[in-house]
Structure 1
């Protein structure tokens, strides 16, 4: 049972990321930052949609560390973008 759910989670995540790369490539907007941010959004959504009700398996508890790392990188991307937008003398 757990293996089937884990397989479903991985399949959904990989499908989301492949669709992300394909759509961004078709739009001509393929960049690492956009792929990362949209993939992170997908991981968060898929994680919430596939969350079990009663028991949390060990592999789901380890996802917290992956998500936390992704959110740290996302914060870095946001801060870097804000610094690019601000005028030179502000910071």
Structure 2
């Protein structure tokens, strides 16, 4: 059974993602890349806001792997966008 802090984390992340989809849809800019970036930003914020002060539960130590994977995918998105902007003769 999830603890109160874990439930708060899940509710916070779910709310952030739903608000992100809603905002992107209202602005007519909904793409998978933008949704991923906003979800990653929300994940990092919710992770920090719900962090305990004294003891780190085991489930929170696994979040480092998810954060690392998210940052790798974010780096891929940034490199791909930069390559799209650069003229073809530069690289």
* TM-score with structure 1 setting the length: 0.97
* Residues matched between the structures, number: 90
Structure 1: unaligned runs, 5 residues or longer: none
Give 1:88's aligned residue: 88
Distance 2:3 2:50 in 1: 13
Query: Alpha-carbon deviation of 1:28?
Result: 0.2
What's the counterpart of residue 30 of structure 1? 30
Runs of 4+ in 1 over 6 A off after TM superposition: none
* Partner in structure 2 of residue 77 of structure 1: 77
1:21 Cα deviation from its structure 2 partner:
0.3
- Report deviation, 1:26: 0.6
Give unpaired runs (5+ residues) of structure 2: none
| Bigger proportion of residues as helix | 1
Q: Structure 2: how far apart are the matches of 1:22 and 1:76?
A: 25
